[in-house]
């Protein structure tokens, strides 16, 4: 078992109870982006809160995660699961899925483009990829860097910068280029924030007032 796998096993073993889909503000956007009857891969699914939502929506969904402990919890939700590492070759045939949800994971990976190439392979022609990740273009993060001279912590627990799990950082332009260079077209960009001031301006400038970004991209080629 790799060090990464051990870390996530420990995390999910300590975590009590099941997450509520409605408690994470990002998930309100997801309600708009998936369709009844789609075949969906929930990549780096964790305990499967999104997978359960998709199942209840009427999608044919698979929860995929590195942690067997997380997938045990997903199984309790009645979700089909497959264990594996997103940084290795995905154990699915070419063009297996109509949509893939890659939620809050890309920022953790050493080689995210490698994973994105695998996503491209297992998506059907014109398939859709939905990604969520912290938005480093968020106005408060910009000010933090201006005055503190360092990237802000986006993990919401107090550890030293060299212990952060978030090692890749995206704003709208970086995400657009990341997708384009790996044969995806960024179709829609959404900003998410729990702060009331931000919410008033999200529709005007989501790339500036969204603490979290959610993007919808389509497969090219």
- Residue 15 — pLDDT band, cuts 50, 70, 90? confident
The tokens describing 47, both together, are: 């305990």
Q: What percent of the chain has pLDDT over 90?
A: 85
pLDDT band of residue 221 (cuts 50, 70, 90) is confident
Can you say whether the dihedral through the CA atoms of 213, 192, 197, 144 is positive or negative? negative
CATH classification of the domain holding 158: 3.40.50.150
Q: Containing domain of residue 59, as a range?
A: 3-219
Structural domain tally of the chain? 1
Residues paired with residue 81 on neighbouring β-strands, in sequence order: 63
pLDDT band at 16 (very low <50, low <70, confident <90, very high): confident
Q: Does position 17 have pLDDT exceeding 80, yes or no?
A: no
Does this model's pTM top 0.85? My answer is: yes
83 exposed, middle or buried (CB, 10 Å; 0-12, 13-18, 19+)?
A: middle
Cβ contact 183:220 at 8 Å: yes
């Amino acid at each position: 078992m790799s060090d990464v796998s051990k870390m996530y096993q420990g995390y999910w073993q300590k975590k009590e109870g099941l997450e509520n889909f409605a408690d994470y503000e990002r998930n309100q956007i997801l309600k708009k982006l998936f369709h009844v009857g789609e075949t969906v891969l929930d990549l780096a699914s964790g305990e499967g809160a999104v997978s359960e939502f998709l199942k209840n929506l009427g999608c044919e969904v698979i929860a995929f995660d590195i942690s067997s402990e997380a997938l045990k919890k997903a199984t309790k939700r009645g979700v089909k699961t497959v264990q594996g590492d997103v940084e290795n070759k995905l154990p699915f045939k070419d063009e297996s899925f109509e949509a893939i949800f890659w939620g809050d994971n890309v920022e953790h990976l050493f080689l995210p483009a490698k994973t994105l190439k695998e996503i491209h392979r297992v998506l059907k022609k014109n398939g859709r990829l939905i990604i969520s990740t912290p938005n480093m273009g968020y106005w408060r993060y910009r000010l933090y860097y201006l005055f503190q001279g360092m990237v802000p912590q986006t993990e919401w627990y107090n550890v030293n910068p060299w212990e952060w799990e978030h090692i890749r950082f995206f704003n709208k332009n970086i995400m657009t280029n990341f997708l384009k260079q790996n044969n995806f077209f960024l179709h829609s960009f959404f900003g998410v924030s729990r702060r009331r001031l931000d919410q008033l301006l999200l529709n005007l400038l989501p790339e500036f007032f969204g603490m979290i970004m959610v993007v919808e991209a389509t497969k090219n080629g």
